[in-house]
């Protein structure tokens, strides 16, 4: 009976759905995290009576036919890129992106990664780095005798030296955008890598056309709505239960058929 296999595909699909929702909930407080959503497609259909086929010598056409589906499969786990809230931290090296764009990070391998998490730190050499010590591109170094750091909405990094009143520009934060940012490959540690689906990075200064602005002393929170995720989790759980009920019902039907005398 096809319903056994169909119910199994439904359970497998809802299992991945629950795993996706669980990952969203687990990252509900992760800086710059973008929630994911499981998307499904129906499987191929078996035609017992093809739609549009002729049903008589007079040329009459079958209007609906008989098609039996084979179940469901996961088509994609898409990333939802809507803006997260800004959490004010008043930390001089916390920077949030308000709008489109990603910070650029140099990995130990020399490759460039991208992130929305702007909780930056200073390396022993005074370079602005991520929480894992990866340099932010382009490299910006803060002198040891700097007494104040300010980053304007255009990404200019300004410092004030001890004993001086005027500020000095020591660097410019740049952002990267993509034609299809949802196609970036997540690698963990709040980092993404360019892929064939994302397209090549286009870099520019914050506030330029097509690029968001940056806010110093703030961090972008996760865009996960926990209440919505819990509601979706309940729906996925019920769908899993209903598919398991289909398998149980099919088993009972097969048992009754085998016991007929």
Which of 30, 155, 176, 181 is CA-nearest to residue 112?
176
State the 10-residue block means of pLDDT for the chain, 261 residues long.
Answer: 91 96 96 95 87 82 86 94 94 95 96 96 94 94 92 94 88 96 94 95 95 96 96 96 94 85 62
Say what the pLDDT of residue 48 is: 84
How many other CB atoms sit within 10 Å of the CB of residue 19? 14
Residue 248 phi, psi (nearest 5): -65, -45
pTM for the model stands at 0.86
Our measurement of the distance from residue 12's CA atom to the centroid of its chain's CA atoms, rounded to an integer in Å, reads: 21
Which of 93, 211, 102 is CA-nearest to residue 150?
93
Say what the pLDDT of residue 19 is: 97
Say what the pLDDT of residue 64 is: 83
Say what the pLDDT of residue 35 is: 96
Q: Exposed (0-12), middle (13-18) or buried (19+): which is 115, by Cβ within 10 Å?
A: buried
**Alpha carbon distance 126, 59 (integer Å):** 83
**Alpha carbon distance 57, 242 (integer Å):** 44
Per-residue pLDDT of 164-214, as tens digits, reads: 888 999 999 999 999 999 999 999 999 999 999 999 999 999 999 999 999
> Where are the domains positioned within the chain?
2-81+224-258, 86-220
């Amino acid at each position: 009976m096809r319903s056994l296999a169909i119910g199994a595909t439904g359970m497998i699909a809802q299992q991945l759905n629950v795993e996706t929702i669980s990952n969203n909930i687990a990252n509900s407080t992760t800086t710059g995290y973008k929630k994911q959503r499981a998307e499904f497609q129906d499987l191929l259909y078996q035609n017992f009576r093809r739609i549009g086929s002729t049903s008589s010598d007079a040329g009459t056409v079958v209007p609906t036919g008989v098609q039996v589906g084979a179940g469901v499969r996961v088509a994609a786990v898409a990333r939802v890129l809507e803006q997260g809230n800004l959490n004010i931290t008043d930390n001089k090296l916390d920077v949030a992106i308000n709008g489109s764009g990603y910070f650029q990070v140099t990995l130990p391998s020399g490759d460039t990664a991208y992130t929305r998490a702007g909780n930056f730190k200073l390396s022993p050499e005074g370079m602005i780095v991520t929480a894992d010590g990866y340099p932010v591109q382009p490299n910006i170094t803060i002198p040891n005798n700097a007494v104040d750091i300010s980053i304007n909405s255009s990404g200019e990094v300004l410092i004030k030296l001890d004993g001086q009143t005027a500020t000095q520009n020591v660097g410019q934060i740049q952002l990267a955008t993509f034609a299809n940012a949802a196609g970036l490959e997540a690698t963990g540690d709040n980092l993404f890598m360019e892929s064939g689906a994302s397209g090549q990075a286009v870099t520019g200064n914050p506030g330029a056309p097509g690029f968001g602005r940056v806010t110093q002393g703030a961090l972008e929170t996760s865009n996960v709505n926990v209440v919505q995720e819990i509601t979706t989790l309940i729906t996925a759980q019920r769908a899993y239960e209903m598919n398991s009920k289909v398998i149980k019902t099919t088993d009972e039907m097969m048992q009754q058929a085998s016991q007929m005398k």
